[in-house]
Structure 1
Amino acid sequence: MVSVGALRAHLLDSRLAGTVATSREVSLRSYRLFAARDPRMLIGIDPQRPWASRDVIELMSERCGVSADPHHTSGQDVIDPERTLAALDAFAERLAAVAGRRGSVLFGTGHPHRLLGFYAALADALSAVGCAVLTPAQGRRVDILTQFGLRTHNLDYVRGVALIREGGAGRPGRAPGAHTHSPLPVRTALAAAAEAGGPLPDLVIGDHGWVCGAGQLGFQAIGLADTDDPALFVGQAEGSVAVVVPLDDGVRAACYRPLARYVLNRACLSQ
């Protein structure tokens, strides 16, 4: 069992919160691109209203704890650990709810090198209480436009968690996978589930385009996001995303284990 105090200390020690590795310059660039509706920053969200760069900064200050001063343009970003803890509690409530009704869940990550273990622990716990952990579109081709041009990927699952691999890379069912912000993988998975006659997920859990893409299509979606991923927080503000946990999404994979234990304990899913 991980206490609130111990987890707060861990968030700060591991730099999951507090002063994080993401620079202010990178975050501000992301906010400007989101305000300009650059698809690389929208990652599946279609904002309901215009978002000026200043609006995004104010939202991120409210939801993450970054500086609200647009003239603060350098240094490292800051995430308020109290906001992270509160969001983890809300995240756990959604887990408990889907577990209580033995619902169907879809997991997916664009950060398999870092976050696969976190999601896999949740998938194991939900499966153990009778939830269906969905794996639609296994092996399905997904073509994603990257900075290097159009790249062919394949959808794969490791321990119940979806990820993408570059065409021909690795063997199915084995970590790791490719980093992506794209919503195309979740759209592919959801389309395949619908074509097969279901079931469709009662809850989608992940990051980047997995959350934004699912939430935009009307699915309940929760996930994790860094200070340079404003789309998830805008989705939450507008109602298409249910819960977003602010944290650094690029630290060592082992640092997320206490978060998984905390969330499962709060959801009464500890094994």
Structure 2
Amino acid sequence: MPTRSALHAHLLTTRLAGAIATPRERSLSRYRMFAARDPRVLIGLEPKSDWCFADLLRLMGQKCGVSADPKHTSGHDVIDPDRTLVALDAFADRLATVAATGAPVLIGTGHPHRLLDFYAALAAALSAAGCGVLTPAQGQSVDITTRFGVRTYRLDYVQGVAMVHEPGARAAGSEPGAHTHSPLPVRTALAAAADSGGPLPALVIGDHGWVCGAGQLGIEAIGLADSDDPALFVGEAEGRVSVAVPLDDTVRSDYYRPLTRYVLNRACLSQ
């Protein structure tokens, strides 16, 4: 397992934290969209408070380490690696707690191209610890509004990780799935679990709408979030997301492997 200092250096070297690839302009635009309650940025969260742009910028500075100066309007965003490490510790501690009780979990991602391996390792470790890794609504259709209009996707599970596949995609697992911020997949999965009388997850693990959609419904959720995804950090501030880990969620998939080892070791789930 990487030491904490080694992981800190890895975060900076791979730009998972530090100066990340996310443009400052995009982050500021999405903070304004969130303040205007644009559902594309709320991703399933219904904020309890009226978050103005200034409040969001201040919060993101506290949670991620981005510049809280509104006059800083261009260049790359910055995530403080120390904040990432603190959040990873909290993330691992929640995994340890759910593993100790053997409670069921639901894992899903809107970033399968980058994060499938990270989540699949968590699914395998939690399953080995006795947790049920749920797969409700396998194969069901989900209608998601995109910039091209409403498109019908298929909810699939790959190595215990939920994702949606493009219309016309081949069999589940044949390609890594579609990128989406929508909360509709997690709502579909949770509704199917409830309708079947099966267990509901004690914890939802993921990103984007998977975390915010679950948290909004009162189910504990933890996940990863980039600096241009304020919804997860607002959810954490308002008590509906347990842990939001700030990092760049679009780097090479192998760059997340040291994080996987660190989290599983801290949670005593290393296999």
Q: Give the TM-score of the pair, scaled to structure 2.
A: 0.99
- In structure 1, what is the Cα distance between the partners aligned to 2:132 and 2:175? 22
The one-letter amino acid of 1:51's match is: W
The one-letter amino acid of 2:66's match is: V
Q: Say if 2:146 is the partner of 1:146.
A: yes
- In structure 1, what is the Cα distance between the partners aligned to 2:212 and 2:174? 25
- In structure 2, what is the Cα distance between the partners aligned to 1:175 and 1:218? 32
- In structure 1, what is the Cα distance between the partners aligned to 2:137 and 2:174? 16
How many percent of aligned residue pairs carry the same amino acid? 72
Deviates more, 1:166-175 or 1:113-122: 166-175
Residue 73 of structure 2 aligns to a residue in which SS? coil
Unaligned runs of 5+ in 2: none
Superposed displacement of residue 146, structure 1: 0.3
Structure 2 matches for 1:1-271, cutoff 5 A?
A: 1-271=1-271
Superposed displacement of residue 190, structure 1: 0.2
- In structure 2, what is the Cα distance between the partners aligned to 1:135 and 1:167? 20
Does the Cα contact within 8 Å between 1:106 and 1:135 map onto a contact in 2? yes
CA offsets 1:101-130 (integer angstroms, 9 cap, x no match): 001000000000000000000000000111
Residue 45 of structure 2 aligns to a residue in which SS? coil
Superposed displacement of residue 77, structure 1: 0.3
- In structure 2, what is the Cα distance between the partners aligned to 1:195 and 1:61? 41
User: Which of structure 1's runs of 4+ aligned residues deviate more than 2 A?
Assistant: none
Superposed displacement of residue 212, structure 1: 0.2
CA offsets 1:172-212 (integer angstroms, 9 cap, x no match): 13340000000000000000000010210000000000000
- In structure 1, what is the Cα distance between the partners aligned to 2:133 and 2:257? 20
Unaligned runs of 5+ in 1: none
- In structure 2, what is the Cα distance between the partners aligned to 1:112 and 1:35? 28
Residue 97 of structure 1 aligns to a residue in which SS? helix
Instruction: Output the aligned Cα RMSD.
Output: 0.6
- In structure 1, what is the Cα distance between the partners aligned to 2:174 and 2:124? 16
Does the Cα contact within 8 Å between 1:137 and 1:189 map onto a contact in 2? yes
Superposed displacement of residue 166, structure 1: 1.5
CA offsets 1:133-173 (integer angstroms, 9 cap, x no match): 00000000000000010101000000000000112212113
Residue 139 of structure 1 aligns to a residue in which SS? coil
Does the Cα contact within 8 Å between 1:112 and 1:175 map onto a contact in 2? no
The one-letter amino acid of 2:116's match is: L
- In structure 2, what is the Cα distance between the partners aligned to 1:174 and 1:159? 12
Does the Cα contact within 8 Å between 1:158 and 1:175 map onto a contact in 2? no
Does the Cα contact within 8 Å between 1:104 and 1:134 map onto a contact in 2? yes
- In structure 1, what is the Cα distance between the partners aligned to 2:203 and 2:256? 21
Residue 133 of structure 1 aligns to a residue in which SS? coil
Does the Cα contact within 8 Å between 1:166 and 1:178 map onto a contact in 2? yes
- In structure 2, what is the Cα distance between the partners aligned to 1:174 and 1:15? 29
